[in-house]
Amino acid sequence: MAESTVAVWAQMQASRIPERAMALARRIAAEQPDLVGLQEVSIWRSAPAAPNGAPTGPFVTDYDQLTSLLDSLAALGTAYHVAIANQNFSNETFPLPAMTAGGLRLVAFTDRDVILVRSASLSRGRITLGAVAGHTYSVQLPVSVAGIPIAVQRGWATADVTVRGRTIRFADTHLEAYGYPPYKDQIRNPQAEELAAALEDSPYPVVAVGDVNARPTMCAEYRPGTPQYFEDHNVVAYTTLTEAGLREVWPLLHPTDPCGSAGWTSGQSALDNAASTLTHRIDDVFVSTGFTALDAYVVGDLESDRTPSGLWPSDHASTWAQIRLDHSHSG
């Protein structure tokens, strides 16, 4: 396990988190959305360790993706406020050893889903931030880490925001990516059911964003090239959300080509790919009844989005949407 931890630590460092944070910040600053939903926002912390694995000094934060992004946004003159950072999986209680450039260290990783609100929208009174909440899915993926049985915690975050007297509930999630063959969806599907039930109970119209790790229902059979993969036919979680009254914005605005390459957000096999390898869409924006979709497009998939060293900002591209809450559906 120490060897695999070494590999993960080296891969993380090679991903140039601060540099990619600036690339993400440039895209956000260019679009200046009122609300942003982020997934897999990590913190990496470490402490010096003795050969027996005992810490010999305090833990320090080596990389914090959220701090890097917020600092980059501030440097670009487009500040954002953290509405909520909902913690998912963390091994802070059982840090693992890794040989780093600074010697043997214990390494801890924490994953979060984050909702950001544009600071100018708050300060100018365009948006009022109300109740926020973090939730953990009851069904979790069981794994073993260094012989320790654990459950991979995932969840969702919500923020109630009022715009010109009308309140909506903004939800952000990352459904489980892993499971058992062939579809690997035994964890993801009940998570989608839990999320759908919670959002159906919302007293306000809902906007839900996130990495749902399931293809859109209309795209189950669509993927360029051969062979078709079992995972391509996994549409259950997506269908669960739409059957709960949520409509994905992308096909509303691209009805004649809902599965085409313009909407692809996933499939980037490496951050330093010479060319994009995106092949499908699993990063979605959903709205409940009462919204009108005005625009939707993908960012983070162009050569111009890459960092100075040639890295893609993320292994996923991002779906951006402009929507309007119709007056007949006031909060």
Question: Hunting for tokens 């059911």 — which residue is that?
Answer: 193
- Residue 47 CA to residue 106 CA, distance in Å, equals 5
- 80-90 vs 103-118, strand pairing mode: antiparallel
Q: Give the whole-number percent of the chain exceeding pLDDT 90.
A: 83
Q: Residue 101's pLDDT is what? A: 81
- DSSP annotation of 129 reads E
Structure confidence by residue, pLDDT tens digits, 293-326: 999 999 999 999 999 999 999 999 999 999 999 9
Torsion of CA 269, 154, 66, 325, to 10 degrees: 100
State residue 182's pLDDT score: 84
Structural domains of the chain, count: 1
pLDDT at 1 over 80: no
Contact (CB, 8 A) for 17 and 63: yes
Query: What are the distances in angstroms from CA 170 to CA 158, 159, 216, 290?
Result: 5, 5, 21, 14
Rg (CA), the chain: 20
What's 252's domain CATH number?
3.60.10.10
* pLDDT, averaged across the chain: 93
Q: Which of 16-20, 224-228, 269-273 has the least mean pLDDT?
A: 224-228
Confidence at residue 221, expressed as pLDDT on a 0 to 100 scale = 75
Distance of CA 239 to the CA centre of its chain: 19
Domain residues for the domain of 57 are: 2-329
**pLDDT tier at 328, thresholds 50, 70, 90:** low
Taking only the tens place, the pLDDT of each residue in 112-146 is: 999 999 999 999 999 999 999 999 999 999 998 77
Report the alpha-carbon distance of residue 282 to residue 19 in Å, rounded.
25
Name every residue whose Cβ is closer than 8 Å to that of residue 59 and which is 6 or more positions away in sequence: 45, 46, 47, 95, 106, 108
pLDDT at 3 over 60: no
261 DSSP assignment: G
Q: How far is CA 281 from CA 4, 215, 278, in A?
A: 30, 6, 8
Spatial contact of 291 and 263, defined as CB atoms under 8 Å apart = no
pLDDT digits (tens, 9 = 90+) for 54-86: 999 999 999 999 999 999 999 999 999 999 999
